[in-house]
Structure 1
Amino acid sequence: MATKQRRLPFGPEKLVPFTEELFDREEEKAARILWSILESRSPRKSDWSQVFSESSEGANYRTIDRVLPKLDAKKALMRLYDPESPFVLVDPTEMERPQAKKTDYVGRLSDGKSLGFWMVVFAQPYRGRAIPFHFGIYSEATLKEQVTSRNLRWRELLWEIEELVGDTPLIFDREFSAQAWLKALEEAQCKWVVRLNKGSGVKFFDELGEEIPLLIEKGEKRNIEGCYYRGETKANVAGVWRKGCKEPLWVMGNFLPPDELVEVYEERMKIEQTFRDAKSLLGMEKVMNKKRVQLEITLALMLLAYGLGLMVGEAVRDEAYLEEASKKGALNREG
């Protein structure tokens, strides 16, 4: 029997209306699995089975094991995307796997020493937070499998995203100001806005090949239209140095006029909070899958659980607020 005390303010039945829209089969059991992920705060089936139902852990584990292959978790996750979303947030996060020396999708991370993989997440803004709807994983090991360039997987991912979001702009942080990423974005015909990493020695040139210095004083704004990033990628550029900030903010994009670039970027939600939540609240850093296919299923389910948990939690909060407001209104009328 399940022995863990419930921490969630709702049960799996609250997720069923969502899973009926997102999954093509086993909708109720999918809701229980997602609820179990949130309740157990774990990526492990053994932990899900402790809270999945009132049956024994062994029976729960067998049920989960039987249902998982029937669920297209990545397809369900992509169905979370709202075509009315004003923009898409994109950011990478490192997932460490220090003990996974023989796992084929694990390689060295950015420090050149730690073992793990990169996870690139695409999300849409929701009430000041971010709801993931797609992701991709890669590492030093998986990239070496490609006989062409190290960005092949990234290109494939962008083509998938472009097909899904169309003209909706992708908003990136400074990690993506590298020329290789921008070239992949252009090939996929994506619309993008990227914060510049001034520390990497970025340079812009006009149509005659003359360098355009990115200089600005505190309290000033500057717009540059139709220049070339590193002499290759055509872009518009905008900079602003706001009072109280230690340095200016420089942003470039391939479709918006310069005077809108900073405004759009500053609307970008801090998706890093989503990563912190997913890692700390759901224990995503504890993924132990040995096969990449299983890893992607687990990650898709966890991101899906996080997104639905956030939406249901907000709905529960709204209901509580309305109920409280109604009670106060009734008391005021009685008074």
Structure 2
Amino acid sequence: MTLHPSVAAVRVPVRGTLSGLAPGDVVAVACSGGADSLALAAAAVFEGHKLGLRVVGVTVDHGLQPGSAEQADRVVAQLSSLGVDETLTARVAVDVASGLGPEAAAREARYAVLEQVAAHLGARRVLLGHTLDDQAETVLLGLTRGSGGRSLQGMRPAFDVFARPLLGVRRVDTLTACRVEGLEPWDDPHNHDPGYTRVRVRERVLPVLEDELGPGIAEALARTAAQLRDDTALLDELAADALAEARRDGGLDAAWLAAVPPALRHRVLRLAALAAGAPPSELTREHVLAVDGLVVDWRGQKWIDLPGPLRALRRDGLLVVEAP
């Protein structure tokens, strides 16, 4: 019997992600019960067991809506029916007062517990079900925020123990794969709540772009992310080398930095601030450009306040980032 194209579209990248693992290795699959993660779990069981891997299904209950515990139980039952070797459920406390917003706070809590689960299991991989559509939404959101190339590169295919095998797979394929395999995915009400910016991008903005500019917008956005990711990786590597070369006793050589091209120099200054303890989420481009003024527009300024709290100042020809 010929394998359905949508099932193959999901299984092939999962096979590639798992191919470097050894028999007996543990793979955890984060599953909410939605079509993307459910199709991912089914593919991980099929491909993982062929390789002799131990596949563990993990569902995280954020407790943000009524019936979340019952939904977690339903996902566990679905994962068991798929043939996972073990199931785990974790309930997290989402800090809605953190200032991050409910979506970002839930994501932070989810990754924290998944890291704990990976350490507990000794998992070689934790698979996440983000698709090409999720990537396109992320890139478009980054574009509207004016966050630069680092934001436009979207989600990474892999980082630390995490991997996203489906970043090249369309959401329609995960939905179809579930239907073909007789799986009933959960349709999270939050995925249709226009109070979330991402939902408005998904249900309003991207369809308008497709209608007005033609099909293929999501693929183009994801392709742009991949290209920018390669560029950013190279620039980050060059910036790390430049930072090491600029270091002197007590700070960074301001005259040497002034001769560095701006695209590289700005990255060096950002790395210097991060190395001194500036929180990445609070360090903005405006901060970096203000510090850059100490290098290329030196007029005897006192200092630049940075998050941390830190100060950047110029002292005896050196750029210094230190606690006040």
TM-score band, normalised by the shorter chain?
Answer: under 0.3
TM-score, with structure 1 as normaliser: 0.21
Give the helix-richer structure, 1 or 2. 2
Larger relative contact order, structure 1 or 2 (CA cutoff 8 Å, min sep 6): 1
Give the strand-richer structure, 1 or 2. 1
TM-score, with structure 2 as normaliser: 0.21
